[in-house]
């Protein structure tokens, strides 16, 4: 973001721009995902229209919903641990905002160009578990506690395959910096053909599938929605939350879906880039300046495609049982991703 518009911006101005950019990068995808997928796509898949009254095709429904939640009474259970009860949603949302900080949006349009970007993303994504456990415990409610514990067990189990799936990408790109991973994909070639670059969804397909399944579980979307199973646990750790505190959880859920999809698109679909051979670019310096404007749109498009996959599976799958869920993680995903690492490493050395 240093010289996006070729204007010298003072340090405080850059910081302000970064904060505003982070807000947009988290909240805009969250709103779009809720309207396009949760309201409209889900309704069409269930043969109904969804919201139609507020604005054309119900497009203003989101603002109506936010207004509704903000008006609602802020209820805190008598026996709840009030301070932790209030802190929990903020911890969950904080982890989302920390996560977006490493996503690159263009050759110069990034928040931080962190050397260990992927590793950082995996680390801060696990902070949300802490918030979920805090919410589940402090609500003084059996269902909430059960939901929190289920969430923790599930997220611990699925964090491992997620990390292991990313290792394949890191081996192939030879770096943990997300910007360099984007470069490696778009400037790369498969068997000498650089028509589409080298998006790792082609060469790391196993890693991509494992990563997306783990993302589905990390987001506690069906079929991995044991922790918030509304038919048995009444939304689990969110049971006691109302009004704007529930709104924060709700935003956190869909914003995290968006940010995880952005990270997945950066790791596997080439991120902000388009195959560099189309325009004759060879490295980061030769990329045209307009990519700083087009990049965010490309990331957004790729994110929408991946969120579509996530939501499609969510709306059409029944729930896993607890034992199936754990068995799937430990006996299928982790061995598969370990084998993927071995094969990738061997091929990397061989070629």
Partner 1 sequence: MVAQNIGFTIIAAAMVVGALRVVTTTNVVHAALWLVVVLSGAAAQYILLAAEFIAVTQVLVYIGAVMVLFLFGTMLTRSRIGTDSGLNNSYAKLGIPVAMVLFAAMSLALADSFGTEELPTDSSLINTQQISDQIFGPYLLPFWALSFVLLAAVIGAIVLARKD
Contacting residues for 78 by C-beta, under 8 A, at least 6 apart: none
- Give phi and psi for 92, each to the nearest 5: -65, -45
Determine the Cα–Cα distance for residues 272 and 227; give it in Å rounded to an integer. 34
Applying CB under 8 A, among 57, 69, 119, 312 the residue interacting with partner 1 is 119
51-90 residues near partner 1, rule: CB under 8 A: 79-81, 84
| Shortest spacing between CB 118 and partner 1, in angstroms | 10
| Shortest spacing between CB 320 and partner 1, in angstroms | 20
Nearer to partner 1, 123 or 284 (CB): 123
| Shortest spacing between CB 159 and partner 1, in angstroms | 7
Does position 114 interact with partner 1 (CB under 8 A)? The reply is: yes
Part of the chain binding partner 1 (CB under 8 A), chosen from 122-130, 257-265, 309-317, 342-350: 122-130
Judged by DSSP in three states, 72 sits in: coil
Does position 14 interact with partner 1 (CB under 8 A)? The reply is: no
Part of the chain binding partner 1 (CB under 8 A), chosen from 20-28, 111-119, 226-234, 247-255: 111-119
Does position 198 interact with partner 1 (CB under 8 A)? The reply is: no
Sequence length of the chain is 351
| Shortest spacing between CB 115 and partner 1, in angstroms | 6
Instruction: Show contacts of 195-202: CB within 8 Å, 24+ apart.
Output: 195/275, 195/277, 196/275, 197/270, 197/273, 197/275, 197/276, 197/277, 199/268, 199/269, 199/270, 200/168, 200/169, 200/172, 200/173, 200/267, 200/268, 201/268, 201/269
Does position 138 interact with partner 1 (CB under 8 A)? The reply is: yes
Tokens of 307: 């969120």
* C-alpha to C-alpha distances, 309 to 155, 166, 221, 257, 258, nearest whole angstrom: 20, 19, 12, 11, 12
| Shortest spacing between CB 1 and partner 1, in angstroms | 19
Q: Judge whether 245 and 253 are in contact, CB under 8 Å.
A: no
Nearer to partner 1, 102 or 269 (CB): 102
Q: Judge whether 83 and 134 are in contact, CB under 8 Å.
A: no
Applying CB under 8 A, among 122, 196, 234, 304 the residue interacting with partner 1 is 122
Part of the chain binding partner 1 (CB under 8 A), chosen from 18-26, 154-162, 275-283, 323-331: 154-162
| Shortest spacing between CB 288 and partner 1, in angstroms | 29
Contacts to partner 1 by CB under 8 A: 79-81, 84, 114-116, 119-120, 122-124, 126-127, 129-130, 133-134, 136-138, 140, 145, 148-149, 152-153, 155-156, 159, 176
């Amino acid at each position: 973001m240093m010289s996006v518009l070729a204007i010298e911006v003072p340090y405080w101005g850059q910081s302000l721009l970064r904060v505003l950019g982070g807000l947009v990068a988290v909240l805009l995808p969250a709103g779009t995902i809720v309207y396009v997928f949760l309201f409209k796509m889900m309704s069409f898949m269930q043969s109904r229209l969804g919201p139609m009254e507020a604005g054309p095709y119900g497009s203003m429904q989101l603002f109506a919903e936010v207004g509704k939640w903000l008006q609602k009474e802020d209820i805190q259970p008598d026996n709840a641990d009030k301070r932790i009860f209030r802190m929990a949603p903020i911890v969950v949302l904080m982890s989302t905002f920390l996560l977006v900080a490493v996503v690159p949006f263009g050759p110069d349009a990034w928040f931080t160009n962190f050397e260990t970007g992927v590793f950082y993303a995996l680390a801060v994504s696990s902070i949300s578990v802490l918030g979920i456990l805090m919410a589940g415990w402090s609500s003084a409610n059996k269902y909430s506690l059960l939901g929190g514990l289920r969430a923790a067990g599930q997220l611990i189990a699925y964090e491992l395959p997620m990390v292991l799936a990313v290792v394949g990408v890191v081996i192939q790109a030879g770096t943990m910096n997300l910007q360099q991973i984007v470069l490696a994909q778009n400037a790369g070639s498969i068997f000498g053909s650089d028509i589409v670059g080298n998006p790792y969804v082609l060469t790391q397909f196993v890693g991509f599938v494992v990563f997306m399944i783990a993302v589905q579980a990390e987001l506690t979307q069906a079929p991995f929605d044991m922790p918030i199973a509304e038919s048995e646990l009444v939304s689990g750790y969110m049971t006691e939350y109302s009004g704007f505190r529930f709104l924060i959880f709700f935003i956190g859920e869909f914003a995290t879906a968006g940010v995880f999809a952005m990270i997945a698109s950066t790791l596997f679909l080439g991120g902000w880039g388009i195959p560099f051979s189309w325009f004759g670019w060879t490295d980061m310096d030769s990329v045209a300046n307009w990519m700083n404007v087009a990049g965010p749109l490309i990331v957004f498009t790729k994110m929408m495609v991946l969120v579509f996959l996530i939501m499609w599976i969510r709306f059409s799958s029944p729930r896993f049982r607890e034992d199936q869920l754990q068995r799937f993680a430990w006996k299928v995903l982790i061995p598969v991703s370990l084998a993927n690492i071995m094969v990738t490493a061997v091929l990397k050395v061989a070629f």
